[in-house]
Structure 1
Amino acid sequence: MNTSNTQRILPRILRRCGRLTWKLLPEPAQNTKLLRRVGRWIYRHFTSKTMRFQSHYTQFMRNPSLVGTVAHLAVERAASRPLRMTSIGCSTGAELYSVIAMVRSAAPDARIQAFGIDLASDVVDAARNGVYWPGKSSATNSVFESGRPEVLVHEAPGLLNILYPQADGSLHVRAHLKKDVEWLVSDASDRNLVKRIGRQDVVLANNVLGPMDDGLAARCLQNLMTLVRPGGYLVIDGVEQNLKYRLLASSGFTPILSNAREIWNGDPSKKGWPWVRWGHEPFSTDEGWHILKVTIFRNDADVIAGRHPVLVAEEAVGERYLV
């Protein structure tokens, strides 16, 4: 075996052995301060730059705690005026439809104007059509990997408030949920996006920035912050932790701590840390947790000294998330 093959294969073997060893550790042991520090070191040096590929994976009610909390906050915003919300990297629409369904359940008469935005026109078309097949992804043959199905077969009976079954086995989004949404092809880094859709009460941006290089992800996150109305909410997960802390800690966006633990642990696809890039480390209240392990942030930046949120973000102190 030549040197280049050894350099390529040896890290894979070490990762595989390390991952198997880690899985054998009891969960309480994995959540000790020492093991969290070890896990962060592993993640930073062996995992964070791996598997950086985009996928169209989305799922109805993927994280019920997150969807329910966002919907509750959105209903409060909708009490006095039309609710405006946007899903960035919307894929085939499952997350946005899930939130709208929860809002409609709590506030049937709420006035909603929603936008679903993605780079890939075919998944935007799929979201607009609102037709899904249990056990199959609607994003096949698209720009990025299709990922998992939007509806798992065993979950379909529990989604009848969002989807209604057809004779051919397909599931269609209910008409009263579809009427509120405009689906657009656009880029999260486009500075003209705010002119196109206006500022929003809720901006969903989950699992879209993580695969990007840090520079592009930072530009996108700053741009998304400008979309949020004063008092509105940014919902952000799946972004590189140092970047998240650097931009949000001093931005004037206030972390919403309600249900933080349940939300952090609520998505089964986030298992596998520290060996999987998108995995969540065990929930803890270590220093910085209120930024790093919180998903929902309220825009108070416009209230603090009347300053624009992206200007505050660009002046962030640049603290690092250290083990």
Structure 2
Amino acid sequence: MTSDPSNSSSSSFILVGVPGLEAFPTCLGVLFCSAYVMALVGNGAVLLVTGLDKSLRAPCHQLLAMLAAVDVLMVTAVVPKLLSVLWLSSAEIGYVACFVQMFLVHSATSEESGLLLAMAIDRYVAICHPLRYHSILSARAVAQMGLAIVLRALLSMVPLTGLLTSLPYCGPRAVPHSYCEHQAVAGLACADPAPAGLYSVAASSLTVGADGACIAASYSRILRAVPGHGARRRALSTCGCHLCVVLLFYLPGIVSVYLQMSPSDLAAHVQVLVADLYLPVPPTLNPLVYGIKVKQIQEGTLRLLGQLAGLRFMSCQRQGRG
């Protein structure tokens, strides 16, 4: 299924795929391809609806569009190459391409975490300061938050990428993973990768810890600001989509990191599959969660479909007259 590492170029790596499951490339490919198509369609629909429907210009809709864009970036950085490994036995990836993929994947996860925090702030302001909602979360403020999220992700990844690219890779370059996951690549270095590993742990822990703590604090403030059990239930129901997306992102991520960083008796293919599924699952399910729960997105989608159907009908009429 994969190329021989001994025959690989000195300026490339070999992606093993899913170790132990080399006999099931078709089934694995169908699984990841289906998730990829669903993620593209779902997030593409969110971007299209929020971009074309002028009624969807609220800060929450702008943040949702940003989340959809990051989700598309995340799955596109991984799944096409993964499918080429599984279906085409094209396992070789260039040295630069490998580190670019690593940079995109890990910066996208940081951006997603930052956007979930921004969406928690949006919910806090909407519930606790409804009269000042649009003045606090103006279009400029939302754009500044988005820029800060992207800059934080890029700046946090630059040192890690520098540490990893400075390591010598002089032995077999078979990456025991389906994509250029930084710990798997660092394990191939001829020098001690401990500094890169320590930085990775510190940066990811700080990012996830700070974002998670702030998200928890925002919901704590919401619960304290809303009096009465029934009112709190209604407030939390308006935050249900966000809570679902937070759980979809953080829980699989924590499990994946724990399995890769701690000694485990689990088979290698289980650890790799968990890490692989962590990337496409949130982008695939996020549009479904918001599409089902957010009424404005549902209505915007229906309006867009109605407009497209009307244009199609008019086009058919013109052709018939012609």
Fold shared by both chains (TM-score > 0.5): no
Q: TM-score, normalised by structure 2?
A: 0.23
Larger Rg: 2
Which structure exhibits the higher relative contact order, with contacts defined as CA atoms closer than 8 Å and separated by 6 or more residues?
2
Q: TM-score, normalised by structure 1?
A: 0.23
Structure whose residues are more often strand by fraction: 1
Structure whose residues are more often helix by fraction: 2
